[in-house]
Structure 1
């Protein structure tokens, strides 16, 4: 028995040593969206705290485009040593498998969950130059001229939110895809598209700055950042409720001890002053989990998003 235990202890030594030495080199946080997006802002806030905790630099690598698939694929193929972390959302890990026939990564098999990071809602916005002052006016115009109005989206959350609006309101609005929500905002301000449903981190600064007009909020309760803006359900789109979430993942083969340590670092980072400032300024909520809790949550969310996408009549591309 003692010989067997000694052998087991010897086998565990490399993993234990790796965990004790971790982190021994700079981090790379891969973000599936462009600089300025909500995910990017959160990643940079978390990076500040992780650097303070470990004295290791954190590089934020924005790999926008292809609905997050490029970033997810890159992260999945990275060295499984805990130095490369995917800071992502439900786009890559709950929605994409229902939106695309073939993914260059497996949201479950290719990753080890680390922790949830935050949750939030989205806001339906138009340019301040738009003639539409309410959801009712916007939908009336959409019903009067089917297919004439257009909505932009730079993430699956934004895309599905727009499709859900079409479905529940019974309107035909043209979808225009973008690499990220900030890019869609630029065209919205320029008049190339008519509306979009964007995350609060991207939309609120433009609303507060007088460039965008908020018509409705996407979840079942109003945003603390926009208390005067009705929920879409309150505005007449009955049953509308669609939020989003952020989470951290590493390559699947990452040692459990390293995942555990990274979980500790990121849970602390979620509670840090930079992260609190992000959550307060965007009206989103801090949210942390164990790796096991995130895995269960992801499975439930994948089923939920699949149901919404199917109900919206979105055919996989």
Structure 2
């Protein structure tokens, strides 16, 4: 009887022990992505997942849960079992912008997740219609100052909104915001000159640049983009103090065992150095920036402060 009780207790204790490195992963790993299939971030996530899966030794399933500025995906992962089998492709939309714009969230951007590694930084460009009299960013600022309240800017996502607000404040210009449900709709009106400026990703804009319908005046990246090496950074164009970053990182539910987090980090760090993956990322204007968990945690904290500061300075009240 004593032997039976002892054996039962040992079995219970073993079942309750945190996941060991040898036990993980024990099945397909789900990567929840807050963008629709075919979007730039989805393309990036799928390339990383394919490469990381080879090192993990298990399939990695990309689960697209778009909508609500990434909050649907973030909530899904925050509530998932913390065993390393469910991961979040987290971006500044859900973890920086939404917390700055909303009073209540179904998750805590810091406490609900275990940071694993930064994945990379997106390139955002400042686009204007080709009919604009401005051929440089200083010329656009001068044009806006000469026409206060007469020019519109499009926002297809929260990153574009916060970027525009900070740009307007730094440049001391008054532009009218026009909100869209996504970048595709926003860029249509930019092409028709119903709006005069927008911050957007390269995948939509480059096609229209080639056709001569749009003009790009600057990139929000700290360095020039290899996609358009002749386009200056915001700082080079004379807009100093612009510090809104568009980024992506990998997260697990809070409480995920460290052995699982380590294995995941190693797999994705290797993927971020995979030449085939890097070729995909470059086409999407995405620069790989693998990091430690602590570095990613600091990025989340820093961007929360920056987004909230920009939102409050613009007089926008969280809803």
User: What TM-score do the two structures reach when normalised by structure 1?
Assistant: 0.84
Q: CA shift at 1:55, angstroms?
A: 4.8
2:172 maps to which of 141, 149, 170: 170
Shift of residue 130, structure 1, vs aligned partner: 4.6
- 2:217 corresponds to 1:215: yes
CA separation of 1:57/1:234 partners in 2, compared to 1, >3 Å: closer, same or farther?
same
1:298-317 equivalence runs, <5 A: 298-317=300-319
Q: CA deviation at 1:247?
A: 0.1
1:4 aligns with none
| Equivalent-residue separation in structure 2 for 1:81 and 1:66 (angstroms) | 26
Spell out the pairing of 1:120-159 with structure 2 (5 A cutoff): 120-159=122-161
Which residue is equivalent to 1:3? Answer: none
Query: Mean Cα displacement is larger for which, 262-271 or 235-244?
Result: 235-244
Cα distance in 2, alignment partners of residues 15 and 187 from structure 1: 56
- Note the 1:92-107 alignment, pairs <5 A: 92-107=94-109
Relative to structure 1, is the Cα distance of residues 310 and 125 closer, same or farther in structure 2, using a 3 angstrom cutoff?
same
- Counterpart for residue 3 of structure 2: none
Q: Is the 8 A contact 2:69 2:158 kept in 1?
A: yes
Structure 1 residues 98 and 260, CA, compared in 2 at 3 Å: closer, same or farther? same
Q: Give the equivalent residue in structure 2 for 1:264.
A: 266
Matches within 5 A, 1:239-258: 239-258=241-260
DSSP-derived class of the 2:241 partner: coil
User: Is contact 1:63–1:70 with CA below 8 Å preserved after alignment?
Assistant: yes
Q: Counterparts of 1:195 and 1:28 in 2: how far apart (Å)?
A: 38
Q: Relative to structure 1, is the Cα distance of residues 258 and 179 closer, same or farther in structure 2, using a 3 angstrom cutoff? A: farther
| CA gap 1:207/1:62 in 2 versus in 1, 3 angstroms | farther
Q: Could you say if the C-alpha distance between residues 238 and 85 of structure 1 is closer, same or farther in structure 2, counting changes exceeding 3 Å? A: same
SS in 2 for 1:23: coil
Q: Residues 247 and 175 of structure 1: is their aligned pair in 2 closer, same or farther, counting only changes over 3 Å?
A: same
From 185, 196, 199, the equivalent of 1:197 is 199
Structure 1 distance, partners of 2:48, 2:253, is 19
Deviations 1:272-315 (CA, angstroms, capped at 9, x unpaired): 22331134334442111222332233223323333333334433
Q: Deviations over 1:120-150 (max 9, x none)?
A: 4421012335554332443344334433322
Distance 2:254 2:181 in 1: 26
| Count, aligned residues | 311
**2:114·2:252 contact (CA, 8 Å) conserved in 1?**
yes
Shift of 1:232: 2.8
Is the CA contact (8 Å cut-off) linking 2:30 and 2:85 kept in structure 1?
yes
Which residue is equivalent to 1:73? 75
Q: TM-score, normalised by structure 2?
A: 0.83
Residues in 1 aligned to 2:24 and 2:213: alpha-carbon distance in whole angstroms: 45
Over aligned residue pairs, what C-alpha RMSD do you find?
2.9
Where does structure 2 lack aligned partners over 5 or more consecutive residues? Answer: 1-8
Query: Structure 1 residues 262 and 223, CA, compared in 2 at 3 Å: closer, same or farther?
Result: same
The C-alpha deviation readout for 1:55-83, integer Å capped at 9, x for no partner, is 53333233333222122112212232222
- Distance in structure 1 (CA, Å) of the matches to 2:28 and 2:317: 41
Partner of 2:236: 234
- Which residue number corresponds to residue 50 of structure 1? 52
Alignment partner of 2:280 out of 278, 281, 298: 278
CA positional deviation for 1:205: 5.1
Indicate the SS of the match to 1:243.
coil
Query: Is the partner of 1:33 in helix, strand or coil?
Result: coil
